[in-house]
Amino acid sequence: MTDEDLRAELERLRPFEGDEPWLYLDANGLVTTGIGYLLRDVDAALKLPWHHNADGLRATPVEVREDWARVTAMPKGLRAEAYKGSLRLSPEAIEAEGFRRLRLLLAGLPAVFPSYNGLHPSAQLCLLDLGWNCGLGPSPGLLGWTGLRRALCTVPPDYLTAAHECTTANINHLTAREARNAWRAQCMLTAAAGTAQ
């Protein structure tokens, strides 16, 4: 994918993931920033170029650790704005991190779906979205999605089955999750229609 393709993908992800320049806790209590960038530990946060809101000066590692401690001490489930502190990422840093994460996903998807490079482009886009949302590893990552993997690793790929296997649970009936699931299923149905012609 070109930089323009990656930028377009980040724009597509924003309505689903949000775009917050500070640290916050997601619904599961995991530290996140940017366009849904999960940060597994404070070391991951230290790799990002944090700056002070007030003067734009670069934050020190000690200041990043303090902000991490502040956010992780807060309750999960608050609106993202409630976690806003004195540090932030620039739009350029958010984009650069998004590009890095998308490139890692694109490099890793063929290991989970050996047929990835030969799949219909809309199915590839769906898998990129799922990888972004769930990760590539074992459950909840895509390596654990045996039904979807089986459907897409058949010859030819079974896109109709994949349309039923590519959605995430929505027990709270969230409108955004429902829209994202519908978009994913439509990607697979588009792939099915495209290969049937």
Average pLDDT, the chain: 94
* Secondary structure (3-state) at 154: coil
The per-residue pLDDT for 115 is 93
Quote the distance between the C-alpha of residue 33 and its chain's center. 11
pLDDT band at residue 37, thresholds of 50, 70 and 90? very high
166 neighbors 126 (Cβ within 8 angstroms):
yes
Query: Is residue 166 predicted with pLDDT exceeding 80?
Result: yes
What pTM did the predictor assign?
0.89
Helix (H) or strand (E) segment spanning residue 23: strand 20-25
